[in-house]
Amino acid sequence: MKNRATAAKMNNKGALRAEKLLVQSKMKNSYGAPLWSGSWITPTRGAATSAYGRRRYVNGKWWGQHNGADIKAPGGAPVLATNGGRVVLSAYLPALRGNCIVVDHGCNVFSLYMHLSKREVSEGQSVAKGQRIGLVGATGFVTGAHLHWEVRVGWEPVDPNRIVARGLQF
């Protein structure tokens, strides 16, 4: 029995790594100029349930720093593009992220939307700020319906709420 548990744990680590590598690969060739304009918006309405930078533990073990902001919202609530850009990933990633969308905003700035019940955009599609791109859900590694929302500059996470509050200029 112990060997099966060890094998399952190793397979899960492999699946998590494969998801991470896929997402990273989609974030390698950002458009060279800003695709965003003006202020940034929060992608859905709801209560903040886990802030950026929060230390996380799963089953009593260190899991890592929270790289985004979780917004509790009912399943099926609309998720909007936080600013203009181009969809570089729209896929179901079962190990952690569930239904996931990554938008390239140009200049190596990306927004990520995870755990969606439905993705409504395709890779290569341009999106406008405020455009509906999906619906809040509970897919992937979750305990309930919410949106996990990240903003990254390169592969480095930044607090998405600070981007909304202060903007982003180059």
Of 31, 34, 28, 15, give the one whose Cα is nearest residue 155.
Answer: 28
Task: Name 114's bridge partners.
Answer: 148
How many CA atoms does the CB half-sphere of 57 hold within 13 Å?
4
CB-based contacts of 138, cutoff 8 Å, min separation 6: 75, 98, 115, 117, 144, 145, 146
Question: Rg (Cα) of the chain, in Å, rounded?
Answer: 16
Q: Domains in the chain, ordered, with CATH?
A: 2-166 (2.70.70.10)
Gap between the Cα atoms of 137 and 148, Å rounded: 10
pLDDT tens digits for 123-153?
Answer: 999 999 999 999 999 998 888 899 999 999 9
- Distance separating alpha carbons of residues 90 and 164, to the nearest angstrom: 23
Q: Which pLDDT belongs to residue 2?
A: 42
Per-residue pLDDT band for 74 (boundaries 50, 70, 90) equals very high
- What's the rounded mean pLDDT across residues 53-73? 68
| The pLDDT value given to residue 9 | 44
Confidence (pTM): 0.85
Length of the chain: 170
Q: What percent of the chain is modeled with pLDDT above 90?
A: 62
Q: How far apart are CA 50 and CA 126, in angstroms?
A: 29
